[in-house]
Amino acid sequence: MRHFDLVIIGSGSGNSILDDRFADWDVAIVEKGVGPGDAYGGTCLNVGCIPTKMFVHTADVASAPRSGAELGVDLELRDVRWAEVRDRIFGRIDPIAEGGRRYRAEENPNVTLYQGTARFTGVKQLTVQTADGPETITADRFVVAAGGRPAIPDIPGLDQVAVHTSDTVMRLDRLPRRMIIMGTGFVGAEFAHVFSALGVEVTMIGRSGRVLRGEDADVSARFTELAAQRWDLRLNRKEISAEQDGEVVRLHLEGPEGAEVVEADALLVAIGRVPNSDLLDAAAGGLKLTDSGKIEVDATQRTSVDGVWAMGDISSDHELKHVANHEMRVVQHNLLHPEDPVESDHRFVPHAVFSAPQIASVGLTEQEAERRGVKYVTSTQDYAGIAYGWAMEDTTGFAKLLADPDTGLLLGAHIIGPQAPTLLQPLIQAMEFGLDARRMARGQYWIHPGMPELVENALLNLPLS
């Protein structure tokens, strides 16, 4: 068995741990690289954040003609060249993934790259199934950053259907005429926007009564209302069975009014993700798991095994690239300075949904504040109430803030509307650095008539003591 100073499992954010300070370490990187979402570089680069947002921007351009008429501009979408859209995006991403693999394999003399599926076969012992057969390796230190994969529900007949997930749907050979999207979370909402903007008839199916139900209730309710105007939205449905009839996918449902059947040319399952801890047999490596199957870590990202850290989607409740990158920096420091460990800061983790409209959020929702018994005040500012909102004729977007009534410190911020992620950023900064709403609103200039006035007015509207 070959022994290393460090083994990193996963080539996403874990790959970024290595810099010049590790030049004298004997390191192994293990990347399975066997499925559509397993190219070098991890989920974000290959099947997640980056390609999806490149598709989203294309969808935003394609949907622009719809808003032209109310502005007095008549526009039309003449054609969508799907193959060109797809190939432009992956023509940029695939060489980056391959370049990253080649760099580690050929240009880092202290790094050994193992490509193949791996399983723990003991504490700090990993067996990798490479093209040349199984090889077992050990190390003084391990970093488990193997991410997750799309969840597939247990529905009778689904295993006989041509199912797509976020791993595969962006590489379709041709654009379908109709698509069923199973799931009402952020992945389903983003792909519903992408494909409907490109001319696909979208049916979205959810078991609950709202789309994006994890968002603040007011935001979720508004998005659900708008989604129902754009897509065939089937909520409060239970999937009974699925079948493939030639090129048609048929899904049998049970809804509020009884049995239903929906048909399409493609089925996208977007009900969530599961950690890859089971594929690694993390328990065999002595790693303690949470009830959800994630690897349990402390604030320094250490696992239950001394000398083993975990980070990213395989251990974090926040399945977000910016969280994985933050945790990577924590692990990096703690590998280099075990005598002076630092902790991850997950107090104010923001997220965004790049659908139409966009959504961005940080901190407590109103329902969470009520459930926890947190004292708060709230304010809402509509896009329709600011000058730039008039320019866009936006009548549905708004910003909602929650703050401590005594200190004025922000507890949560939620925006639905154009450029929501960009508008949220100064609110994240205020929460992180303890800037209260009064000082934030009155202690600086706000460009008029820019969209950030949405944030300014929401701050001024807070009923603070």
**Beta-strand (E) ranges in 169-272?**
178-182, 201-205, 232-234, 238-245, 248-255, 258-264, 266-269
Q: Which residues pair with 233 in a beta bridge?
A: 204
448 is catalytic: yes
Answer whether 382's CB lies under 8 Å from 389's CB: yes
Alpha-carbon span 2 to 17, nearest angstrom: 21
Alpha-carbon span 343 to 365, nearest angstrom: 25
Q: Which of 32, 39, 44, 149 is nearest to 101 (CA)?
A: 39
CA distances from 44 to 166, 272, 384 (A): 11, 15, 34
Query: 363: phi > 0 → left, psi -120 to 50 → alpha, else beta; which?
Result: left
Answer whether 19's CB lies under 8 Å from 151's CB: no
Answer whether 360's CB lies under 8 Å from 350's CB: yes
Answer whether 277's CB lies under 8 Å from 289's CB: yes
Q: Which of 342, 357, 347, 276 is nearest to 318 (CA)?
A: 347
CA distances from 239 to 112, 182, 392, 443 (A): 46, 9, 39, 53
Query: 273: phi > 0 → left, psi -120 to 50 → alpha, else beta; which?
Result: beta
DSSP H helical segments within 81-180, as ranges? 82-106
Alpha-carbon span 62 to 197, nearest angstrom: 6
CA distances from 300 to 25, 304, 411 (A): 21, 12, 25
Alpha-carbon span 354 to 387, nearest angstrom: 24
Alpha-carbon span 448 to 169, nearest angstrom: 42
Q: Out of 3, 337, 346, 448, which one is annotated catalytic? A: 448
CA distances from 165 to 162, 170, 184, 190, 300 (A): 10, 9, 14, 13, 33
Q: How many helices (DSSP H) and strands (DSSP E) are in the chain?
A: 12, 22
Hey, which residues are catalytic here? Answer: 448
